[in-house]
């Protein structure tokens, strides 16, 4: 076990159990993630054994309730884990975050049979999950998705949109999803499709689709700027058959299911972004002690010291806001606004701090040899996925103005 780590600014009030969890996650990240992070990024190589080792530590179901077989971590505890993973390797953090994101809706909206059949292998780390919402014409505007689910009866005939749901034997999916993290490596896919485009968000329904389902395949693999060791690919549905028993929730509940899961996922990503910022800050501060210029260590130059102070402020502020959002979830409060604030703030902070770290390293920071530029590339991605930061500004503004209206 690693030595106990002192609480950094913005991380006060942790219990002994939470500190142990954080320290264990940091030791794991240092041992299993950091040594190969640069090589995997360079090669754009996904390593399934990392997911298996996470599962051995109980992380594949960490924040999910014990009642369904999860580890039962508090959400604050989960953010402590995600910060440590993000500090060592954002690609591994994103991979795990998406896996958890794809399970949350099944916990909340799934049947007992779905808990048993669908969740059990995912909680054990035997099956990797993916969350499938984004489409070529529906990124931030998730309600505009076009992937269609035809309703089919026992005789194999297509049912009209107004036929009762209990008459449906199966659904056939047609359409395309893009930028799906963990694809094509994932085994289980939570897919959102519309059964009636005329109903807008009220027509969207969620489905549980296994890799290998006939009519379900993969298209282009994204060549990303950052987070390159976590794959992302296009999904193609050409009449993929999904039994009615694999519909998640009721018809028309899909949009609500997606938004509820994303609110939780944004806190997770915020925590990983705090990790990026912390890593950039720590590495830059150490470098300033090592290098000299004009007859003195760089750490003694006031201009650079002020940059370090600003970086520390960014990281501490992002951590405090992320922890507050996690504590709100643990208290059972609404987290929509807080999760948007946390994700927006933490990803912007990570980008600014990582960019400043590159500047402080000078030419070495711009080189791919040091790994500092990888932090900047990874932070840029975090400003875009899980809702662009412009969308989060809209969410926060809407909540503030709604309260002002009374």
Which positions are annotated as active-site residues? 386
User: Residue 148 is encoded by which pair of tokens?
Assistant: 């269609």
* Kind and range of the H or E run holding 174: strand 170-181
139: closest CA among 390, 405, 341? 390
CA dihedral 395, 399, 402, 403 (to 10 degrees): -170
Question: Residue 191, SS3?
Answer: strand
- Complete DSSP assignment for 92-155: HHHHHHHHHHTTHHHHHH--HHHIIIIIHHHHTTSS-EEEE--BTTBSS-GGG---EEEEE-TT
Q: How far apart are CA 198 and CA 177, in angstroms?
A: 20
Phi, psi of 369 (to 5 degrees): -70, -35
* Kind and range of the H or E run holding 248: strand 247-248
Q: How far apart are CA 227 and CA 24, in angstroms?
A: 23
User: Residue 177 is encoded by which pair of tokens?
Assistant: 């999803």
326: closest CA among 312, 314, 341? 341
Q: What is the DSSP pairing of strand 148-152 with strand 170-181?
A: antiparallel
Q: How far apart are CA 69 and CA 126, in angstroms?
A: 14
Residue with tokens 């998705």: 145
Contacts of 157 (CB under 8 A, 6+ apart): none
* CB 81 within 8 Å of CB 20: no
């Amino acid at each position: 076990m690693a030595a106990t780590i002192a609480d950094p600014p913005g991380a006060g009030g942790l219990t002994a159990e939470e500190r142990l969890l954080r320290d264990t996650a940091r030791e794991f990240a240092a041992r299993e993630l950091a040594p190969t992070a640069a090589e995997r990024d360079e090669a754009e190589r996904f390593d399934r054994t990392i997911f298996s080792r996470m599962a051995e530590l109980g992380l594949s179901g960490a924040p999910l309730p014990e009642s369904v077989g999860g580890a039962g971590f508090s959400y604050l505890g989960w953010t402590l884990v995600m910060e440590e993973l993000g500090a060592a390797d954002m690609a591994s953090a994103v991979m795990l975050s998406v896996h958890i994101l794809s399970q949350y809706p099944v916990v909340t909206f799934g049947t007992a049979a779905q808990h048993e059949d669908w969740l059990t292998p995912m909680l054990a780390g035997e099956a990797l999950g993916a969350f499938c919402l984004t489409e070529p014409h529906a990124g931030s505007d998730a309600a505009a998705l076009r992937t269609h689910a035809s309703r089919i009866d026992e005789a194999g005939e297509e049912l009209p949109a107004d036929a009762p749901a209990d008459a449906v034997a199966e659904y056939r999916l047609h359409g395309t999803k893009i930028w799906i993290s963990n694809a094509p490596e994932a085994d289980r896919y939570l897919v959102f499709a519309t059964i009636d485009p005329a109903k807008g968000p009220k027509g969207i329904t969620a489905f549980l689709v296994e890799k290998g389902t006939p009519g379900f395949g993969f298209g282009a693999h994204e060549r990303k700027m950052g987070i390159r060791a976590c794959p992302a690919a296009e999904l193609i549905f050409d009449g993929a058959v999904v039994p009615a028993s694999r519909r998640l929730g009721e018809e028309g509940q899909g949009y609500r299911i997606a938004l509820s899961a994303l609110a939780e996922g944004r806190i997770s990503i915020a925590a990983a972004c705090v990790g990026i910022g912390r890593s950039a800050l720590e590495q830059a501060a150490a470098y300033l002690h090592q290098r000299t210029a004009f007859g003195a260590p760089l750490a003694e130059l006031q201009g650079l010291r002020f940059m370090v102070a600003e970086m520390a402020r960014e990281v501490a502020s992002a951590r405090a806001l992320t922890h507050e959002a996690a504590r709100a979830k643990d208290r059972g409060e609404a987290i929509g606004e807080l999760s948007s604030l946390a994700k927006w703030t933490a990803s912007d902070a990570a980008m600014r701090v990582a960019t400043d770290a590159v500047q402080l390293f000078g030419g070495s920071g711009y080189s791919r040899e040091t790994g500092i530029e990888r932090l900047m590339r990874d932070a840029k991605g975090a400003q875009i996925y899980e809702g662009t930061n412009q969308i989060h500004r809209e969410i926060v503004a809407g909540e503030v103005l709604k309260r002002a209206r009374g």
